[in-house]
Structure 1
């Protein structure tokens, strides 16, 4: 479906790498592989903030018979690790697999940090790039970067979840802020490979709720007649204080047979409370090629009991990748068929939706509120 406002608002070309945290110590030429997957919130001023994942990559990861990975070290800062080329599988330009290990072990040819960018109230123009507020690795569990922010404002506090990547663990970390712009790291709140954690924008019966999505290399078969696929699913968890989380016992949203989410799915935007219930946008992935086709779908949850799904559309996507948006920067494209929605803000008659487009740029879409009403869905 076409929307009146649907545009790229930020791309790699908008970043000045002289402000990059990597420039403090790394001795290599780098470039912006992608500026994408922006967390979205409204600042006290009324302007919007997108917290952009900047994936900064080595221009020449392969030199002679060696390949290099970027890593942050608590003592040495940013530097390059060197591996013999014949000891890795380097089919993917973004990462490579170290061969000969008992488990699947990867290293990255890019490292991600977060860049706060202030937008106008409607999200269509950049007001200021806050290079002085960059969020970069500062703990050893972030040695391979900080990725994919999601921002939720509850009462007077902004809660920002991120994915921290390291050889220690692949975890969800929490940052908090009182102004939406300056964030303090609170540490790990979900352990190994629990990605796409998103807080509900408000408490339910005095407790925090969140979407989670545990990952793994092993899943057990569903019964043959089950309507669901085995694999990653969106789960729910609750917390008394935003730091200590208890997963709910029942499964939540799962990849369903006969839909476009045959590969996996995961949380997208923060669920926000509407007159009809909690509105959430999430991503479903269709099995295709190495990465899959990412689309955005939506669901509406009961306002008092979010385990009750009032409506879910996992067949007709809200958003799909739009090649026309990427056309001006298509020479930088390294993925296609990916839209990864990461933020949702109420703007009166419509919602402002922030997404990563093809792991390359930030997309802003205005979606009328009546698109998500249940009156014509029953």
Structure 2
């Protein structure tokens, strides 16, 4: 049964597993998870899963979605489309291009991919663009413009869970802008022991939350790489409810609905030690939802006090990181929206998005 919310009239109903690791594929030894999605120029629906090889080395794959009666039921693999080939995507003992999110932006005629480059300084945001989902042009690491009123430099901090809106939105000064949601993490002690947490001005809660940054549309139209230099940073939402006790982060690209921008997000509760090894955590990831103001997408209109999807099946409760549902992609098939999500950091599931009357 779907979990209901009185504040956001949307539900998720799980439908099953659409992709699991293939034992014959060495790049999938550590799991297939947290996919992006999109359609190739011929209209065929694809996932771009994170493929994890031995040693926690991640690549981005491409897999065509198989449908049965309009419902995603499986995939056909089509290889790797992005690997940690650049120096800033590789460290001495780690490497990876992780957790891609893709947004089709009609005004640019491109899919915009955000991904986590797991390089020498840990997880950093990076961007790539494509017209066909197969060939990707790296736009480079995200370089956040310095903003004096924050009293900090966002480039100092690890960042994850970034995703673009699918169309220009009003910027802080009313100009049309492309907007990026992201999630900075303020604890620098992981790579500089003793440094601890450094919070921006005006933020008193050290738990990671959802932020928004903007890039003027006219600058992007003149130079696509401007997307990698966002500015006008602002906190959108922090943890508020019990299922978000540890942190929250954005999920699939925001979906325009009658009430505003629907953002499906994840909330985390439980225990997470001060380390990057997810296998040491004792956490639960659930999916929530919030509505953002179309006139000011950095403002939350309302949000769910309870999750709309929680780990419940064996595939969601058992895996590399147990008790995880992690939504990352949303697509429409024959008028129905489907959300794709990571299951326990091992498999990929699909759920149907419905609006209650």
TM bracket (short chain): 0.7 to 0.9
Deviations 1:63-109 (A, max 9, x none): xxxxxxxxxxxxxxxxxxxxxxxxxxxxxxxxxxxxxxxxxxxxxx3
- The answer for the alignment partner of 1:230 in structure 2 is 206
Once residues 342 and 75 of structure 2 are traced to their aligned partners in structure 1, the CA distance between those partners, rounded to angstroms, is 19
- The answer for the alignment partner of 1:63 in structure 2 is none
- The answer for the alignment partner of 1:264 in structure 2 is 247
Deviations 1:156-204 (A, max 9, x none): 1100011001114531111111123322212111444111111011111
Q: 1:150 to 1:123 in 2, by over 3 A?
A: farther
For 1:182-193, list aligned pairs within 5 A.
Answer: 182-190=135-143, 191=155, 192-193=157-158
Once residues 71 and 128 of structure 2 are traced to their aligned partners in structure 1, the CA distance between those partners, rounded to angstroms, is 23
> SS where residue 182 of structure 1 aligns?
coil
2:353 matches 1:367: yes
- The answer for the alignment partner of 2:177 in structure 1 is 207
TM score, norm. by length of structure 1: 0.72
Structure 1: unaligned runs, 5 residues or longer:
21-30, 58-108
- The answer for the alignment partner of 1:248 in structure 2 is 233
The CA deviation at 1:128 is: 2.6
CA RMSD of aligned residues (A): 2.6
> SS where residue 169 of structure 2 aligns?
coil
- The answer for the alignment partner of 2:297 in structure 1 is 306
Paired residues, number: 297
- The answer for the alignment partner of 2:131 in structure 1 is 178
Q: Is the 8 A contact 2:186 2:206 kept in 1?
A: no
- The answer for the alignment partner of 2:65 in structure 1 is 119
Q: 1:114 to 1:15 in 2, by over 3 A?
A: farther
Once residues 291 and 343 of structure 1 are traced to their aligned partners in structure 2, the CA distance between those partners, rounded to angstroms, is 25
Q: 1:201 to 1:220 in 2, by over 3 A?
A: same
For 1:338-353, list aligned pairs within 5 A.
Answer: 338-347=324-333, 349-353=335-339
Deviations 1:255-307 (A, max 9, x none): 12x52211111111111212221111111101246241111100111112112
> SS where residue 141 of structure 1 aligns?
helix
2:99 matches 1:148: yes
Once residues 185 and 351 of structure 1 are traced to their aligned partners in structure 2, the CA distance between those partners, rounded to angstroms, is 29
Select the structure of larger CA radius of gyration: 1
> SS where residue 248 of structure 1 aligns?
strand
The CA deviation at 1:112 is: 0.7
Q: 1:320 to 1:4 in 2, by over 3 A?
A: closer
Once residues 130 and 172 of structure 1 are traced to their aligned partners in structure 2, the CA distance between those partners, rounded to angstroms, is 25
The CA deviation at 1:4 is: 5.8
RCO higher in structure (CA 8 A, sep ≥6): 2
Structure 2: unaligned runs, 5 residues or longer:
3-11, 144-154, 171-175, 188-195, 221-226, 273-280
The CA deviation at 1:51 is: 0.9
Once residues 204 and 153 of structure 1 are traced to their aligned partners in structure 2, the CA distance between those partners, rounded to angstroms, is 15
Q: Is the 8 A contact 1:210 1:236 kept in 2?
A: yes
